[in-house]
Amino acid sequence: MKALKTLSLLFVILGRFTGHCDAQLPYTQLIYNYIKDSAVSFGSTTNYCGFPFPLKMNVYKPTGANQATKRPLVIFVHGGAFVSDADFNDPEMNSMAIAFAKRGYVSASIDYREGFHLKAYGTGFPGTINLWNIPGATVNWNAEARLFAADSAETIRAIYRAQQDVKAAIRYFKLRSDVDSVDLCAVFLAGHSAGGIAVLQAAFTDQLIEKPVLTAAQNTLPNPNWKNRCELSNPFNPAECIFYQPNGPQGRDDAAYIALNSTGDDYENVSAYLRPDLGSIGGDVNFGAIDEILGVGAMAGAITDTNLLVNAVNFPAVFLYHQPADRVVDFFRNRPFSFYNDLLSPGPNNEWPILNGSLFIKNKLAQINYPGQVATYWFDNSAADPLALNSHAILPSPVTVADSMAKFFAQVLAAPHNCLSVVALRSTLRANLSGSRIKVRMDILENSGLVKKLILQKSTNGRDYSNLTSFIPGSESVFNFIDNTPTSQNFYRMEITTTAQKVFSNTVHIQYQQYNISIYPNPVTGKYLQLQINNAGFAGKGNLLIKDISGKIILARELHVPNAVYLQTIEVSTLPAGFYVIELLNNKLEKLGLGKFIKTN
């Protein structure tokens, strides 16, 4: 009965947008047949061990008459705690994708990178808790062994990789929208459990400053190398173990690495435990399109940081499904799968972040007066499932939930929404630091002819932008710009003006720290001046130049700076009175720092 009340509530919520017109809205009725394209490649990347990982998906397209020229797209993302064997063939996500294809959508069920490094415990850990103190009465925890993350960075990095792969799938379809007849203004995401987390993170991580700190390069991890504890040693030979702990950890770490890597991948090699910077929020697969979406559906999902909602630049419509009794991803706010703490010691979720579940998200969106459309579907199954054993499932069925989600998405499609209906420009903005300057470049691979003007913009905080220069592109051309006055934080984006509206390119972020040069005394009245160079990032050979006010080099000296703070005494007794400039150059003669002093008699 509670389930029926919940379903009724959902339709009341939806009715506030469209009254009694649900049945008349496009994309709500099961009226099409479909075709399936299996194991479609949408890119290649590297997994948590640094091994190649092919990104694949199943794609479904409606067939039959009376279809729209451009069709909406929905991308489904499977669950599995970011460590599962699930892939693009996940039965639930494929059944939902088929349900949407029958309504006129192009739909896809995608795979993404899963896995993270495991913690190196001491001998005997992790292990099981015998609740009844009966030998052998312990749980089988082969799959659960994958949940013991090495540290808090590993779980955040796993979520981040999944988010990047979801964004790569969006861009894949946008870059070939003509081939698949996809409406670029009508792209939706949907996912369950870990997939629900991944789609929310992909939808709301829309600024480079939102890149988690832990996704930067981290220290190399040790091989976990789990071992069983010896419970009974040979009294005559203590080095010999007669009886090891039952159901212990040994070999389960290896099984986890084998399951989440390909045959032949040498996960024992130390290089597999390197943790490089994971790159930009969108990853580096399928450059050339904006990954903005119109709506997102999260089933038993969560978000790691609600500041992503507060600081949102884009405002996709949000559909939230959850069972209030969910024991895996908390309905409100908690670490995931805490119930394992009664079965395994230590608990597997110690290094997992606190996840903000669907109810918490709903409340936060209401609190901030979120401008996008929001619908919720709470399925209370506690009467039929008092022990909450099935509380993380998609109930009453994936197809039923797909129907509710489709009705909500149809209302979103029917409402006014602004976006660029074509890929106006196939290009990517890039930037790199060169000495004390930042070089910005955009290679324009294809121009639809609709682009009238490009304006390069810069921000020092990732939010407030000012114009630097403008450019009118040809069919194929290259844009170059040199920023001679970088600050500590530099964000660049291209404003693209088309015949219809203005949109923005990808954003690039360059951090810059100028080498600080301190000169004393200043003015210099004696025979010597003291020079101090401060920067934690500078070490190695460099060149020091002293120039007069005309730019003439008066003194040139090679330096070798061994550490962060470098002191140098320079004799200036022969210099006439005047104004001088000191420049610090690297071994490529790129300017790293600048100082000025006055010499008096």
Q: Is 530 part of a structural domain of the chain? A: yes
CB neighbourhood size of 461 (10 A): 10
335, part of any domain:
yes
22-36, 169-183, 427-441: least confident range: 427-441
Kindly state whether residues 357 and 474 are assigned to the same domain.
Answer: no
Q: Are residues 498 and 532 in the same domain?
A: no
Domain shared by 66 and 99, yes or no: yes
Chain segment 533-544, per-residue pLDDT in tens:
765 445 567 788
Contact (Cβ atoms closer than 8 angstroms) between residue 26 and residue 104? yes
pLDDT at 15 over 50: no
Are 497 and 526 members of one domain?
A: no
Sequence-ordered strand ranges (E) for 327-447: 333-334, 344-345, 355-357, 374-378, 425-434, 437-447
- Mean pLDDT of the residues in the chain: 86
- Does residue 440 contact residue 481 with C-beta atoms inside 8 Å? yes
Q: Give the range among 104-108, 565-569, 577-581 with minimum mean pLDDT.
A: 565-569
CATH of the domain at 58: 3.40.50.1820
For residues 76 and 90, state if they share a domain.
Answer: yes
Structural domain ending residue among the three candidates 414, 442, 468: 414
Count of structural domains, the chain: 3
The answer to whether 491 touches 473, Cβ cutoff 8 Å, is no
CB count, 10 Å around CB of 503? 18
Residue identified by tokens 């913009």 is 457
In sequence order, the 6+-apart residues with CB closer than 8 A to the CB of 387 are none
Task: Name the least confident of 5-9, 388-392, 396-400, 515-519.
Answer: 5-9
The burial of 437, by beta-carbon neighbours within 10 Å (0-12 exposed, 13-18 middle, 19 or more buried), is given as middle
Q: Is residue 172 domain-shared with residue 283, that is, in the same domain?
A: yes
**CB neighbour class for 575 (10 Å; exposed up to 12, middle 13-18, buried from 19):** middle
304 and 179 in a single domain? The answer is yes
Q: Which of 471, 492, 511 is the last residue of a domain?
A: 511
Asked if 347 and 486 sit in the same domain, the reply is no
Question: Which tokens in the block code for residue 484?
Answer: 């001679």
For the chain, percent of residues with pLDDT exceeding 90: 58
Range of the domain at 486: 425-511
Sheet-wide strand order for 516-520: 516-520, 528-534, 565-571
- Identify the domain boundary among 380, 414, 448: 414
Provide the token pair at 89: 């063939």
Do 154 and 212 fall into the same domain? yes
Quick one: which of 11, 171, 217 has its CA closest to 75?
171
pLDDT for 406 beyond 60: yes
Residues 531 and 460 in one domain: no
Contact 592, 542 (CB under 8 A): yes
Among 20-34, 61-75, 438-452, the range with the most confident prediction by mean pLDDT is: 61-75
Lowest average pLDDT, out of 182-191, 307-316, 346-355, 434-443, goes to: 434-443
Q: For residue 345, give the amino acid letter.
A: S
**Stronger pLDDT, 311 or 585, i.e. the higher one:** 311
CATH code where residue 507 lies: 2.60.40.10
| Residue scoring higher pLDDT (562 or 250) | 250
Residues 23 and 102 in one domain: yes
> Does the global pTM surpass 0.85?
no
Domain for residue 237, yes or no?
no
Going by pLDDT thresholds of 50, 70 and 90, the confidence category of residue 132 is very low
Compute how many other C-beta atoms are within 10 angstroms of the C-beta atom of residue 573. Answer: 9
Same domain, 51 and 186: yes
